[in-house]
Structure 1
Amino acid sequence: MITVKRAEYLSALTCAGVKDVRYYINGIFFDSEGFIVATDGHRLFCGKATTEGESVIINVKAKPPAKFDHVIINTERHSATFIDDKAQEVLTSPIEIIDGRFPDWRRVSHFKPGKVEAIGIHMPYLADAAKCSKYFDKKANGVLEMQDSASATRFRLGQDAYMLIMPVRM
């Protein structure tokens, strides 16, 4: 079983691929070391989850409910159960387990802070980072960190969560 908090789940959904030919990024990856990761190749979200040593890519079939506290994913039963803050079940959805190899997210998320004068950013991705930051902090505060003009920009969302945005070539 996998347990993931609302903020991490919704942020991962924001960054996951949709109908991409690289089918293995059309879902959310749960790392055996307790990470939730999603990418569409242009941006990447990484946060914490309780995975109990399980490593799997999943696609939840239902749209998440408006209000929930966390989601429990049962890979044996192929289901995701959304739980509210009163420990009540809100919704249960079938899931698809994606048979594939998720990209080496640790390689691209290796971050080395640096100084840069300018960097090109696709502004809708920055808007998505602001949207994700609201899941963690209602004031939508975050820290934007840059490396160089050819490497990813990191937007810190919480203590253990961040979003990487790849630069745009101008």
Structure 2
Amino acid sequence: MKYLARVNPKYFAAIHQCAAKGDVRYYLNAVQIEPHAAGGVVIVATNGHFMGAIHDPDGWIHPDHKSVLIGTVSKRMLSACAARKGPDGDPPALLWIAEKFSLITSLDDVSEEPELFGKFSHLTEKTELVDGVFPNWRRVIPKKRQKFEGSYPCFNGEYLEVFNKIGVMLSGQKRFGAGGMHLETGEENGSVIVRFNRLDLIELFVGVLMPMRGEELKGFLPAWTKAETESEAA
């Protein structure tokens, strides 16, 4: 069996949160793995409204492939990728991806390809590769900060919740809220760059959140906040 890619399973499970679910544009339901010029791979997914990407410096993709798109992934596989410990008591170390199967193993030695149902295997399961072209995700990443004037754009709060979930998964913590997220608006289309406020993640992960239509804000605060309450007036 020929393996096509190898990545950090925690990274894969986290980025999969940004993939579309049942979209007719089938390539948006996939997670893409592609080589990076500085070494390793980039794992990226988007549903067309928000996107997550991470550089896995230790990741690998077969030299015959410019990218690999992983489509159908079971909840059991994603859960095993994000687990703190596997059935052998050790944390998952690597996710190996083949044409028809994927394997999670606790063995971090890459000198030999792992056996599908070997001693260190946490889970071996059927996965589906997508034969298609993934969007050029770099086009939606703003190149410069926007000089801040006026109000922030309007955003879908569910996507911010997803980014927080990704932060939990990547950090390995039960809660990520105290870590915080950096949000900065780009100058091209008002999209926002999302980065995690952790030394081990701030240079690895990047998210992009597209704005949505919203009511124009006529002031910084609602008008009622400017009037004194009866108790204050007394």
- TM-score bracket, normalised by the shorter chain, equals 0.7 to 0.9
More strand by share: 1
Paired position in structure 2 for 1:40? 47
The structure with more radius of gyration: 2
TM-score (norm 1): 0.86
Structure 1 gap ranges (5+): none
Paired position in structure 1 for 2:10? 7
8 Å Cα contact 2:5-2:68 kept in structure 1: no
Name which of 92, 112, 118 aligns with 1:69. 92
1:101 and 2:133 correspond: yes
Deviates more, 1:25-34 or 1:119-128: 25-34
8 Å Cα contact 1:82-1:91 kept in structure 2: yes
Relative distance call for 1:7 and 1:144 in structure 2 (3 A) is farther
8 Å Cα contact 1:60-1:93 kept in structure 2: no
Q: Which has the higher contact order (CA 8 A, sep 6+)?
A: 1
> How far, CA to CA, are the matches of 2:8 and 2:19 in structure 1?
17
**Number of residue-to-residue matches in the alignment:** 169
Instruction: Report how far residue 103 of structure 1 moved.
Output: 0.4
TM-score (norm 2): 0.65
8 Å Cα contact 1:57-1:99 kept in structure 2: yes
Which structure 1 residue ranges, 4+ long, deviate > 6 Å from structure 2? none
Letter in 2 for 1:57: L
Deviates more, 1:141-150 or 1:113-122: 141-150
Name which of 195, 203, 206 aligns with 1:162. 206
Instruction: Give the root-mean-square deviation of aligned CA atoms.
Output: 2.3
Correspondences of 1:1-170 after superposition (within 5 Å): 1-33=4-36, 34-49=41-56, 50-52=59-61, 53=63, 54=65, 55-63=67-75, 64=78, 65=80, 67=83, 68-76=91-99, 78-84=100-106, 88-116=120-148, 117-137=151-171, 138=173, 140=176, 141=179, 142-148=181-187, 150-157=189-196, 158=201, 159-170=203-214
Instruction: Report how far residue 9 of structure 1 moved.
Output: 1.1
